[in-house]
Amino acid sequence: MSDNTTISSAHFIGIGGAGMSGIALVLHERGCKVTGSDLKASHYVRELEAAGIDVRVGHEAATIDEVAPEVVVTSTAIPESNPEVIRARELGIPIWPRAKMLSWLSGTQRTVAVAGTHGKTTTSSMIATMLDRMGLDPSFLIGGVVEGYDTNGRNGSGEHFVCEADESDGSFLYLNPSVVVVTNIEADHLDHYGTLENIEKTFCTFMGLVGEEGTVVVNGDVAHVADLARSTGRRVVTYGFDASCDYVCHAGPAGHGLASNFEVELPSGSRVPVTISSNPGRHNMANATAAIAVADVLGLDVPAAASALSQFKGARRRFTHVGDVAGVTVVDDYGHHPTEVAATLGAARELGFSRVVCVFQPHRYSRTQSLAREFGPAFDAADVLRVMDVFPAGELPIPGVSGKTIVSSVREHGNVADVAYVPNRKALIEGLCDLVRPGDLLITQGAGDVTSVGPAFIEAMREREDGRRS
């Protein structure tokens, strides 16, 4: 089957993931018959079913015979031993990794691919929203739900295709971008790459994909990333807070609330005011500055782009406001790498709350083990820290690695006065109800099911309030 042919039917194995579901939606919107399977139902599965896509729960070889797809698409989590993969190979059906289908979908559109260890979901969501609010109707595929659209994927009629480029297994090398954005490069996904040097080499290859006519937009505050970009021989523009950057972010004074107001200085020396309403912190100002740089690189009207960006409502689970109860504000954040945690809590510290209370759930045993030392000081902006047990994300336990690993590192290398390991969820909720005070900010932090702690806490607090009134 040629990569340039039309596809009338496709079956997605592992369709319920953030990346896979978006691709399936876009392909469905283009008229392709899409089916899929996953081990369990989820928000994404329900969204796909509501769109009219046939999703099977469980993986069965017979499914391939029943749906008879032209091509099978697999997520990075699907092993070769999967019964549907085995059956597809027996039948000679082409099997594409997710990123290859993403590359095929982008086709002849002008693709903006956003990569980096941190910030890629928010930055790609900002760019997609900005282009859409400018009336350019982009297609987009993001690794999270874009607030205001309630989806992670959409097929637009415009010339631009915005995608979050997943570096976790190197599959982003399938893409054919016109513009690449790299927010940062750090040691992560070492189970695949082994070393930071290998990660950097792969990113260099990725940045080189833009070709001689393309542009690489990189965070100039991270010197080694900018140097890597320049080593590709491609056109490079930088953004950040440093005065040497091509697009300089000038931060305004911190205030109480989730909005950030700042200015971006363009290469011409002129400045444009920018407001982002629901994503506080310097890291999100940098993400927004990257979006402004992309607008300029694409030849768009920059003041209009800044105005459009002000309508960005956030990406789900990126400092998402969950609710308020008894004078306590509750937010939820997906960040699970030490740098992400430190940036999020640092932003929270600047918002004027009495205390920052963090509930952290480590994500993957391998990451907890390899980054234990780095996690120690990552929580320094928190007044109170409660650590849950590790969310395995499909990994087998590693002896001696648990939430205690994080607590030990914080006590040895960090500076949080009140830190404890609480593996029991019921005890965690009850303990939070006892310790919070009016004026506190409670933030649930991590990529696993810690996201359910905030709503459970709010419900428990309301039950206590009702009990006092009765």
The alpha carbons of the chain give a radius of gyration, in whole angstroms, of 22
Residue 315 lies in a domain: no
- Could you tell me the CA-to-CA distances from 274 to 73, 234, 250, 270 in Å, in that order? 40, 28, 10, 13
CATH at residue 62 = 3.40.50.720
**% of the chain beyond a pLDDT of 70:** 93
Distance CA 157, CA 317 (A): 28
Show which residues are catalytic.
120-121, 164
- Identify the band that residue 238 occupies on the pLDDT scale cut at 50, 70 and 90: very high
Same domain, 360 and 423: yes
Residue 164 lies in a domain: yes
Tens digit of each residue's pLDDT (9 = 90 or more) over 100-148: 898 888 877 899 999 988 888 889 999 999 999 999 999 998 887 787 7
Same domain, 360 and 247: no
Same domain, 402 and 459: yes
Per-residue pLDDT, averaged over 260-278, amounts to: 90
Of 291, 312, 304, 305, nearest to 247 by C-alpha is 291
Q: In what order do the strands lie in the sheet with 151-154?
A: 151-154, 139-146, 160-164, 110-115, 179-182, 215-219, 235-240, 247-251, 260-265, 271-276
Residue 4 lies in a domain: no
Residue 3 lies in a domain: no
* Residue where one domain finishes, among candidates 97, 117, 136: 97
pLDDT at 263: 93
Same domain, 89 and 35: yes
Same domain, 63 and 181: no
Residue 301 half-sphere exposure toward CB, CA atoms < 13 A: 8
Q: Residue 440: left if φ>0, alpha if ψ -120 to 50, beta else—which one? A: beta
pLDDT at 325: 92
Per-residue pLDDT, averaged over 375-399, amounts to: 92
Residue 256 half-sphere exposure toward CB, CA atoms < 13 A: 7
Contact 384, 424 (CB under 8 A): no
- Could you tell me the CA-to-CA distances from 406 to 164, 291, 393, 410, 438 in Å, in that order? 29, 34, 17, 6, 28
Same domain, 305 and 326: no
Residue 102 lies in a domain: no
* Residue where one domain finishes, among candidates 97, 120, 137: 97
pLDDT at 135: 95
The answer to whether residue 53 scores a pLDDT higher than 90 is yes
Distance CA 153, CA 20 (A): 10
pLDDT at 398: 94
* Beta-strand relationship, 260-265 and 247-251: antiparallel
Residue type, 293: A
- Identify the band that residue 190 occupies on the pLDDT scale cut at 50, 70 and 90: low
- Identify the band that residue 321 occupies on the pLDDT scale cut at 50, 70 and 90: confident
pLDDT at 258: 64
pLDDT at 145: 79
Same domain, 113 and 59: no
Q: How many Å from the N-terminal Cα to the C-terminal Cα in the chain? A: 69
The answer to whether residue 330 scores a pLDDT higher than 60 is yes
Domain count, the chain: 3
Consecutive H or E run containing 110: strand 110-115
Same domain, 184 and 245: yes
CATH at residue 257 = 3.40.1190.10
Q: What range does the domain containing 39 cover?
A: 9-97
Alpha helices in 209-327 (DSSP H): 223-230, 282-297, 302-309
Same domain, 272 and 324: no
Per-residue pLDDT, averaged over 453-464, amounts to: 91
Average pLDDT over the chain reads 88
Contact 298, 290 (CB under 8 A): no
Same domain, 249 and 359: no
Same domain, 294 and 386: no
The answer to whether residue 85 scores a pLDDT higher than 70 is yes
Distance CA 259, CA 255 (A): 8
The answer to whether residue 189 scores a pLDDT higher than 60 is no
Distance CA 370, CA 192 (A): 13
* Residue where one domain finishes, among candidates 97, 123, 151: 97
Q: What are the structure tokens assigned to 208, written together?
A: 């080189």
Distance CA 416, CA 243 (A): 33
Of 164, 72, 154, 152, nearest to 111 by C-alpha is 164
Distance CA 148, CA 384 (A): 32
CATH at residue 450 = 3.90.190.20
Same domain, 192 and 271: yes
- Does pTM top 0.75 for this prediction? no
Residue 2 lies in a domain: no
Residue 261 lies in a domain: yes
pLDDT at 219: 95
pLDDT at 448: 87
- Identify the band that residue 1 occupies on the pLDDT scale cut at 50, 70 and 90: very low
Tens digit of each residue's pLDDT (9 = 90 or more) over 209-231: 998 889 999 999 988 899 999 99
Distance CA 350, CA 338 (A): 19
- Identify the band that residue 273 occupies on the pLDDT scale cut at 50, 70 and 90: very high
pLDDT at 382: 94
Residue 1 lies in a domain: no
Per-residue pLDDT, averaged over 297-315, amounts to: 90
Sequence-distant (≥ 6) Cβ neighbours of residue 241 within 8 angstroms: 221, 248, 249, 251, 282, 285, 286
